[in-house]
Amino acid sequence: MTQTHTSTEPSLFRLAGFPYFLIAFIARLPFAMMVVGVLTVVVSARGSLSLGGLTSAAVGLGTACFGPLLGAAADRYGQRTVLLMLAIANGTMMVVFTLVVYGDAVDGLVLLAAAGIGATAPQVSPLSRARLVTMISERMPETRRARTVSGTMAYESAADETVFVFGPFIVGILASLIAPWAPLVGAAVLTIVFVGAFALHPSGRHVAAVRGADGAAPSAVSELFRPQLVIVVIGILGVGMFFGTMLTSLTSFMADRGASEQAGLLYGVMGVGSAVLALGVAWLPVRFSLRARWLVFSGILFAGSLLLGVVDSPAMMMLALGIMGVGIGPTLVTQYSFGAARSPLGRSATVMTMLGSGIVVGQSIGAAVAGELAENVGTSAALVLPIVAAGVAFAAGLVNWVLSRTHARNVVVAA
């Protein structure tokens, strides 16, 4: 009898439907194409690598500043309205940016247009996480929610990593076969079509049931700044810093050996392992708690990063990247799971976009600082930065261990 009941319980795949996952996957591609697409077109049209780097950073800055505000708007008014406006605005901004770059506009206007691309970026990944978590919390049996959320975060993280591998690859193909402006125009079309479809999907109508008739959340804004949630943002900022510093210092490492173009291939060693292990988190036993996972996997990341202090060959670098890949994916999944579990009532999209922006900010800062250090001091100095970033993620895990214990004790006392 129990077996029959279990088999009839809805799975998340049945609740959302296959078209949802396909649309959501393609809809996040433009976001992965933006930064590299902007860099490509600026370097081609203006002949300045320096301006290209600044323009990419402006995209990241726009996303970081406006991402959480757009998440809050999606929480209040529903994702459909917000995403439809963003799909049109972002697609338009990419075309406008292309025209500005190829025109006679001053560099300041180019940077402003780039910031506009970032500010209007539809953050499909965080909003998809928020949408799926709401479905799980409101439509699935309580006994299955924790494992389903963990599996969902694992899938979403693996999907993100896959897209961020294919995004730059697509940019390269379009720029080579058509023209340097083609990736941004292509991203604009994908944004309008697939982000629009993501917005119009039936699940886009759904607003969390805990929201009032006026769209207001029952939880105060101050709850977004609770220590238990802030430490997750700091931890994910560390992961973003690691991504930015690692790729930049790795590029410098390979450039010293006359093979800078192979940096992406070596980085892929970490990316593949990270994506596979991120998916594997869904099968970890429930007794392996979230706070323990954060400590264990960020510890593996930190331990692997220490090898960067002694690497002297591409083979040894590959070994270090392989070890770090084991830690980075599961750490990210665990942090997103904590974000979902600790989101104040009615503010899940806000929290997910805060976490997504944390990665973008960390990545932008990390890449900029590592680039400066590599150019002015040397590769060995730049390779210290990923160790620092991994240390931030691990230290945040230690603080989270204490805060989780305190939070659990307070819940018991309140009960």
Query: CB neighbours of 312 closer than 8 A, spacing ≥ 6?
Result: none
Entry pTM: 0.77
Query: Could you read off the pLDDT of 19-56 as tens digits, one per residue?
Result: 889 999 999 888 878 877 887 788 788 877 667 777 87
Q: How confident is the model at residue 185 (pLDDT cuts 50, 70, 90)?
A: very high
Question: Is pLDDT of 415 > 50?
Answer: no
Query: Could you read off the pLDDT of 344-389 as tens digits, one per residue?
Result: 877 777 888 888 888 888 887 887 788 778 878 888 999 999 999 9
Residue type, 319: L
What is the structure's pLDDT at 317? 93
Domains in the chain, please, with CATH? 14-211 (1.20.1250.20), 217-415 (1.20.1250.20)
Buried/exposed code over 128-166 (b: 16+ C-beta within 10 A; e: otherwise) = bbbbbbbbbbeebeeebbeebbbbbbbbbbbbbbbbbbe
Q: How far is CA 11 from CA 6, 18, 344, in A?
A: 10, 12, 25
Question: Is pLDDT of 412 > 50?
Answer: no
